[in-house]
Amino acid sequence: MVSRRLSREEGHRRKFMAVLDDTPECERAVRYAAMRAKNSGGGLVLLYVVEPGDFQHWLGVEEIMKAEAVEEAETRLAKSASNVRESIGIDAETVVRQGTTREEINALIEEDKDIAILVLAAGSTKEGPGPLVSAIAARGSVAFPVPVTVIPTDLSDEDIDALS
């Protein structure tokens, strides 16, 4: 169970969270979340999770690979936040976490009581809509503790702007 959201209380504002990863559709989610934040006077949180399964080497090599992955995540987040600032005109909070994506999404939502909406984008590849969207669509699946908005990957920027 998620703790009570504070986004409607004095001194707080509703935040939209988008998860960045290596998929092309994640930018659709970022744009929608940024536009909703701008249009509603809310905030934007961009999360990048470095998964632990990629680092199964000797300890010294593993630490170097983790550091490189975190640096790459920070670079991707900075680029996305810069794009949001230039194209939409709002600043984004950026967060890098290490762990499993679902657990880190839930942990961040629990820590930041202003996060009220999780925005994901569905993929259009033959592998399906993506692991997070598949997880919320599967019967008996793990649910996220806040409402989830799923953006179709084939929406144009103009479509997203009109919907948000």
In 3D space, the residue among 107, 110, 112 whose CA is nearest the CA of residue 93 turns out to be 112
> Using 50, 70 and 90 to split pLDDT, how confident is the model at 142?
low
Pairing of strands 115-121, 15-20: parallel
Task: Extract the tokens encoding 150.
Answer: 């799923």
Residue 54 has what pLDDT? 54
**Per-residue buried b or exposed e for 6-16, using 16+ beta carbons within 10 Å of the residue's own CB:** bbeeeeeebbb
Task: Extract the tokens encoding 66.
Answer: 């983790």
Where do the domains of the chain lie, and which CATH numbers do they carry?
15-163 (3.40.50.620)
The 10s digit of each residue's pLDDT in 9-37 is 777 789 999 999 888 889 999 999 999 99
Count how many residues are written for the chain: 164
